[in-house]
Chains A and B, each alone.
Chain A
Amino acid sequence: MFQANTPRKGFSKRTWIFLLVFTIIIVTLFYTSVPSLFTLTGNVISENSTILGTDIAGFLTIPEIFVKGELGNIEIQGNSGFLYVESQKMPLSNFGFDKIILKDFDGKIQFNENNISILKGKAKQVFLNSISLMPDFQGYIDVNLEPGFELNSIKIDKNVLIKNLDYIASGEITLGENKMTLNINNENVFIEDLATTISVESNTLHIDGKVRILKIIGDQEISVMN
């Protein structure tokens, strides 16, 4: 009846249950509506997995891309900021270094059309303008690029799986064995499960791989599903 006057100690069990239910509902709402919020853009495809989908190749506007895992050899061009290699801090712009090669890179990279916001991981060898920074180093070298590195081009050696892409893009896509070409001009491109090599050159993203779902929504709607 009248409640005993005990001091309040945090939330009651009922409040925790209520908050839990609320959290589940709000997460479900966003997870089912905007899955890209919860999925990493890309991961490396394991060697054993097979990707079923339509052949896709072409070039598009560069979205925000995040990939992680064993990405193989990575070639980056640009010359701003610093590259941290183990305990060394390498100024890139001052010495005119404009080409970074990371051999057998294992880590994460996030970039967009302008810059690399994350590059962190380890590589077997690091080259600046074809000069090995640690030629005698055994094992993996810690590598970290200062955020905001101005990007000219990037090439990732291995196939990566991009789970979701949903953005306004322009460019050209060639689909299927018949090499059907689609010209895209500021249209909404929705991609699900794209297994591709990635390279960025001249402000365009070049892809070459397979896609499970592709939707292009503009004046006309084009859908490809597998």
Chain B
Amino acid sequence: MSSEQQLGKKRHLLSVTNTRKAYIPIYFLNIVLVVSIFYLKWKGIDINDYALIGAGIFLFGSLKMTEIHRLSNRYHIDDMHLIHIKGIFNKISRSLDFFAISDLDVSQTAWQRLLGFGDVNVRLFSKDSTSTVKNINNPHRFADILKERMIWCRRNIARKDGRI
């Protein structure tokens, strides 16, 4: 047993969070705001203090919120489960057993394809049907690893049962 497991922490084969690329439109708006402020300053125009404070709060708040949002969604693959942990301080964890997964696919919009991120739709046998791992980098690689783990897991169980 590894020291990590001894401490009660579970070892994950793969851990991902939402990619920052998903927040590029927000970063773009922030850049527009910063460029506007610099343009006004460059033109020697006095900027109203309240507007400047508002812009500062918006910049700081939006960058902070995107980071909080990004880090509040973590996806892990361990030996038997796909786990989604939501939240930073208050955490909710949901595990999907590999046996509950029927199949999966990757969906990407043109924008996502261009930037190399996307969603992995995980279909379940149960009526809950589909769950989505959203906005992750290299979704195909994530899906491949997930599929490999599912096959490995099912083969292992079959071997134990003596079916193989």
Residues of chain A having any CB pair with chain B under 8 Å: 1-5, 18-19, 21-22, 25-26, 28-30, 32-34
Contacts and interface: CB of A to CB of B under 8 A. Distances in A.
A1 B129 contact: no
B40 A34 contact: yes
Given A2-B122, A34-B45, 18 more contacts: A1-B84, A1-B86, A1-B92, A1-B94, A1-B131, A2-B131, A2-B132, A3-B132, A4-B132, A18-B62, A25-B51, A25-B54, A25-B55, A29-B33, A29-B52, A30-B36, A30-B40, A32-B47
B29 interface: yes
B138 interface: no
Contact of B131 (A4, A19, A22, A25): A4
Contact of B58 (A1, A25, A33): A25
Given A18-B62, A34-B40, A29 B129 contact: no
A167 to B, nearest CB: 13
A2 B37 contact: no
A28 B33 CA distance: 11
A193 to B, nearest CB: 19
B54 A33 contact: no
Interface in B56-105: 58, 62, 84, 86, 92, 94, 96
A18 B132 CA distance: 24
A197 to B, nearest CB: 30
Interface of B: 26, 29, 32-33, 36-37, 40, 45-48, 50-52, 54-55, 58, 62, 84, 86, 92, 94, 96, 121-122, 129-134
A24 to B, nearest CB: 8
Nearest to B94: A1
B86 A28 contact: no
A26 B54 CA distance: 9
A190 to B, nearest CB: 11
A3 B33 CA distance: 32
A1 B132 CA distance: 9
A30 B46 CA distance: 10
Contacts of A18: 26, 62
A30 B40 CA distance: 8
A34 B51 CA distance: 12
A4 B46 contact: no
Nearest to A2: B131
B131 A29 contact: no
Given A2-B96, A18-B62, A29 B130 contact: no
B45 A5 contact: no
A26 B92 contact: no
B85 to A, nearest CB: 9
A2 B33 contact: no
Contacts of B58: 21-22, 25
Contacts of B45: 33-34
7 contacts: A2-B94, A2-B131, A4-B132, A26-B36, A29-B54, A29-B55, A32-B50
A34 B50 CA distance: 14
A1 B46 CA distance: 47
A-B CB proximity, top 4 nearest = A2-B131, A32-B48, A5-B130, A1-B94
Nearest to A30: B36
Given A2-B96, A22-B29, A33-B40, A28 B54 contact: yes
Contacts of A4: 129-132
B130 to A, nearest CB: 4
A1 to B, nearest CB: 4
Contacts of B62: 18
Nearest to B59: A25
